């Protein structure tokens, strides 16, 4: 079978799983829906492998395969096909997406076990995977937008999955609104592309761009900036990042899948996919890189101060995507995509471990109320440490190879790109520090009551409440289920985390500078037109970067050890000393408050003005005046309707007489 046929199957299985779960929820008992969803995605992963193998059968210059099912729209000058593009980039993405998704489905089978919305959850999750695969396989802009909007909806539906929780529904709306801003950017960019080039097809656009546009031509820069609006909204980059921390209201596996491993990297994929445009408009690419850099520093600082376990990891995600955006914007495509892959592994692992930890402390997410869970959660703690080591880019772990490759590339490009290397390494220190801030705060220190209880063998069950506001909840549909599940006791969770742990350790070995450069060689077929792809730093420079990165990582971990384990009072002392800075960071640089003041409040004020002044005074004033006029005239005229027949007769005769007199006089 050809690679594109496998590509269609990759799309078909999640769609089938979605339909079965969506329509069969009444009949599916127990964990049935979960297994159907997991198997559907697992089959998609198998097909993705088959597609990749089939793709490798082609020669390297001939790995851009397209296929279309039918014509979506065919009119004068418009030719849109429902077509996919299977090339090394999309093959790489479907492998990562379907692979990680399979594991997260497996984890969810147990984690969501007692939730009353079990089948609905898996229907949403399968729909998400289908949409994400559609997004990365799309062969033209129209299908890309369809997938782009679908994942936005799936994200909304899953953030608001516990729909009776106020905070969750609000977070869902926020995510949706910001994602729609991105959608508008993407759609406008597509309009411009169509106006300039007259086609929606990816390959046709990429072939036409170098001839049609001069370097940095205004229209092209505008197109690229609009694409960036879409990419940044989806990938939670400044200034459109505020939805991602709130998206943690969704179930933890959702945070792992959508808001860490796959959907939020769609922006990175988009920039890499549009590399032809960005290389022709280097200004836009540089803007993108600088925003990525600002984001990665900003998010890393937030992660130092936030105390909600999932939100720390969320800020870490924003920061890591910042690295990827920098990578694909400066031309380090392979390194950026490699970072995307390793990040998917270790961040999904971190979230899964966080889910297990949250279950162990009866749904609490505040790390101030955790501690000493190392003995109670032997497996989870080990796996979370592996994830944190990979995140901190500890030598040998997967994050170690991917992050430093981006920074080494920036250094190699020279000029002002050196800034990316310097700031990137500083942020790497912060990354290592906050990664182990989580570990030391959660697993070291004095065991909390829940930890002691768990050591004795039973899982704490507090009355259900909203972890954010402390509101009381029940366990019916629309709220989390009654039971908590930890990886130590559920083999699907255990298995999913073990596989991801293994990948977090070994995932980096496929791309060791100078030894085996699997990702770089594989992706080369998708970047044939690029003049930056092969401008790589020397192997020695790479290893120099790796050595520096390793040293920084160890320094960051050591610093965290010093602050949180050796001298436990240090962080409190630091907070006292730099109270203003801490407040600033703990409030996430006041971005939410800024948007509240600049956008939300003026809009509400305008609405209130329209309602209270315009509607009440102007609109109702005009309407009331018209009504009063008619009624007043009616009152006057009604006086004539006396009911006396003789009075009517008098009016009639008098009227005729008056008319007759008038004509008599007028005729003289």
Residue 343 tokens read as: 């990040």
Q: Give the whole-angstrom CA distance, residue 253 versus residue 476.
A: 20
Is the Cβ of residue 637 or residue 665 nearer to another protein in the bound state?
637
Min separation Cβ 625 and another protein, Å: 24
Angle of helix 88-111 relative to helix 266-273, nearest 10 degrees, comes to 170
CA 292 vs CA 326, 331, 524: distances in Å: 5, 13, 24
Is the Cβ of residue 614 or residue 656 nearer to another protein in the bound state?
656
Is the Cβ of residue 23 or residue 663 nearer to another protein in the bound state?
663
Q: Give the whole-angstrom CA distance, residue 350 versus residue 226.
A: 33
- Strand, helix or coil for residue 77: coil
Is the Cβ of residue 631 or residue 646 nearer to another protein in the bound state?
646
CB neighbours of residue 179 within 10 Å: 24
Min separation Cβ 642 and another protein, Å: 5
Min separation Cβ 604 and another protein, Å: 50
Q: In 306-397, where does DSSP find H-type helix?
A: 309-330, 333-360, 378-391
Q: Give the whole-angstrom CA distance, residue 493 versus residue 482.
A: 18
Min separation Cβ 610 and another protein, Å: 41
Min separation Cβ 637 and another protein, Å: 8
Is the Cβ of residue 61 or residue 639 nearer to another protein in the bound state?
639
Strand partners for 308 = 366
Q: Give the whole-angstrom CA distance, residue 177 versus residue 171.
A: 10
Min separation Cβ 639 and another protein, Å: 7
Min separation Cβ 664 and another protein, Å: 13
Is the Cβ of residue 414 or residue 639 nearer to another protein in the bound state?
639
Is the Cβ of residue 415 or residue 643 nearer to another protein in the bound state?
643
Q: In 68-217, where does DSSP find H-type helix?
A: 88-111, 118-137, 141-159, 166-197, 202-212
User: Is 161:155 a contact under the CB 8 Å cutoff?
Assistant: no
Is the Cβ of residue 53 or residue 657 nearer to another protein in the bound state?
657
User: Is 505:390 a contact under the CB 8 Å cutoff?
Assistant: yes
Contacts of 540 (CB under 8 A, 6+ apart): none
Min separation Cβ 640 and another protein, Å: 7
Residue 165 tokens read as: 């929780």
Is the Cβ of residue 627 or residue 653 nearer to another protein in the bound state?
653
Contacts of 551 (CB under 8 A, 6+ apart): none
Is the Cβ of residue 572 or residue 635 nearer to another protein in the bound state?
635
Is the Cβ of residue 612 or residue 642 nearer to another protein in the bound state?
642
Handedness of CA 470, 472, 477, 481 (dihedral sign): positive
Among 322, 206, 214, 313, smallest CA distance to 268 is for: 322
Residue 504 tokens read as: 């977090």
Residues found near another protein in the complex (CB under 8 A):
637-646, 649-650, 653
Q: What is the CA radius of gyration of the chain?
A: 31
- Strand, helix or coil for residue 72: strand
Q: Give the whole-angstrom CA distance, residue 628 versus residue 136.
A: 63
Min separation Cβ 629 and another protein, Å: 18
Contacts of 133 (CB under 8 A, 6+ apart): 10, 11, 14, 44, 94, 97, 98, 147
Min separation Cβ 651 and another protein, Å: 11
Q: Give the whole-angstrom CA distance, residue 160 versus residue 142.
A: 27
Min separation Cβ 609 and another protein, Å: 43
Q: Give the whole-angstrom CA distance, residue 404 versus residue 424.
A: 9
Q: Report the largest interatomic distance among the alpha carbons of the chain, rounded to a whole angstrom.
A: 123
Q: Which residue has the tokens 């109320």?
A: 369
Residue 57 tokens read as: 């059968």
Min separation Cβ 666 and another protein, Å: 20
Min separation Cβ 644 and another protein, Å: 6
CB neighbours of residue 465 within 10 Å: 15
Is the Cβ of residue 597 or residue 653 nearer to another protein in the bound state?
653
Q: Give the whole-angstrom CA distance, residue 402 versus residue 96.
A: 15
Min separation Cβ 636 and another protein, Å: 11
Is the Cβ of residue 572 or residue 664 nearer to another protein in the bound state?
664
Strand partners for 75 = 78
Among 113, 162, 118, smallest CA distance to 489 is for: 113
Min separation Cβ 620 and another protein, Å: 29
Is the Cβ of residue 577 or residue 638 nearer to another protein in the bound state?
638
Is the Cβ of residue 449 or residue 655 nearer to another protein in the bound state?
655
Length of the chain equals: 668
């Amino acid at each position: 079978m050809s690679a594109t046929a496998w590509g269609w199957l990759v799309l078909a299985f999640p769609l089938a799983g979605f339909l079965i779960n969506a329509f069969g929820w009444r009949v599916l008992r127990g964990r049935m829906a979960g297994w159907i969803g997991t198997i559907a995605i697992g089959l998609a992963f198998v097909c993705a492998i088959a597609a990749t193998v089939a793709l490798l059968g082609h020669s390297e210059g001939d790995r851009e395969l397209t296929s279309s099912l039918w014509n979506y729209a065919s009119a004068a000058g418009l030719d849109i096909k429902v077509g996919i593009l299977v090339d090394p980039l999309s093959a790489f993405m479907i492998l990562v997406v379907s692979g990680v998704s399979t594991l997260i489905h497996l984890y969810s089978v147990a984690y969501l076990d007692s939730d009353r919305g079990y089948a609905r959850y898996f229907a949403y999750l399968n729909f998400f995977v289908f949409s994400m695969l559609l997004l990365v396989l799309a062969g033209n802009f129209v299908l890309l937008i369809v997938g782009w909007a679908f994942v936005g909806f799936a994200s909304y539906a899953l953030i608001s999955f516990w729909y009776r929780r106020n905070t969750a529904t609000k977070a869902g709306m926020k995510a949706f609104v910001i994602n729609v801003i991105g959608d508008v950017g993407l759609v406008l960019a597509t309009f411009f592309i169509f106006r300039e080039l007259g086609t929606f097809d990816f390959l046709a656009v990429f072939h036409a761009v170098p001839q049609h546009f001069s370097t940095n031509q205004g229209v092209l820069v505008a197109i690229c900036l609009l694409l960036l609006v879409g990419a940044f909204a989806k990938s939670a980059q400044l200034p459109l990042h505020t939805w991602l921390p709130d998206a943690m209201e969704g179930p933890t596996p959702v945070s792992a899948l959508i808001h860490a491993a796959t959907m939020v990297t769609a922006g990175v994929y988009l920039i890499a996919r549009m590399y032809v445009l960005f290389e022709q408009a280097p200004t836009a690419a540089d803007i993108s890189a600088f925003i990525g850099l600002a984001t990665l520093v900003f998010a890393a600082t937030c992660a130092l101060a936030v105390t909600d376990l999932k939100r720390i990891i969320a800020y870490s995600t924003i920061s890591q995507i910042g690295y990827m955006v920098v990578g694909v914007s400066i031309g380090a495509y392979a390194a950026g995509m490699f970072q995307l892959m390793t990040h998917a592994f270790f961040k999904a692992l971190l979230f899964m471990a966080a889910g297990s930890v949250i279950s162990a402390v009866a749904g609490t997410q505040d790390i101030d109320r955790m501690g000493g869970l190392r003995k109670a959660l032997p497996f989870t703690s080990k796996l979370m440490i592996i994830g944190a080591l990979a995140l901190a880019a500890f030598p040998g772990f997967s994050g170690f190879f991917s992050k430093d490759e981006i920074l080494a590339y920036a250094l190699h490009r020279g000029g002002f790109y050196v800034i990316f290397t310097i700031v990137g390494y500083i942020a790497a220190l912060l990354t290592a520090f906050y990664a182990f801030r989580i570990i030391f705060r959660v697993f070291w220190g004095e065991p909390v009551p829940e930890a002691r209880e768990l050591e004795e063998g039973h899982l704490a069950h507090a009355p259900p409440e909203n972890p954010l506001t402390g509101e009381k909840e029940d366990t019916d549909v629309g709220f989390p289920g009654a039971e908590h599940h930890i990886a130590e006791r559920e083999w699907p969770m255990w298995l999913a985390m073990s596989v991801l742990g293994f990948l977090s350790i070994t995932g980096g070995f496929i791309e060791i500078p100078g030894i085996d450069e699997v990702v770089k060689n594989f992706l080369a077929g998708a970047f044939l037109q690029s003049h930056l792809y092969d401008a790589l730093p020397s192997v020695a420079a790479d290893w120099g970067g790796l050595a520096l990165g390793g040293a920084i990582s160890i320094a960051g971990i050591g610093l965290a050890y010093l602050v949180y384990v050796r001298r436990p009072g240090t962080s409190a002392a630091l907070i006292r000393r730099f109270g203003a800075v801490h407040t600033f960071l703990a409030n996430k640089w006041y971005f939410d408050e800024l948007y509240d003041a600049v956008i939300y409040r003026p809009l509400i004020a305008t609405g209130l003005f329209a309602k209270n002044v315009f509607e009440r005074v102007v609109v109702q004033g005009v309407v009331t005046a018209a009504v009063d006029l008619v009624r007043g005239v009616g009152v006057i005229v009604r006086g004539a309707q006396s009911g006396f027949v003789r009075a009517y007769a008098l009016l009639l005769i008098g009227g005729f007489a008056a008319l007759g007199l008038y004509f008599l006089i007028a005729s003289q």
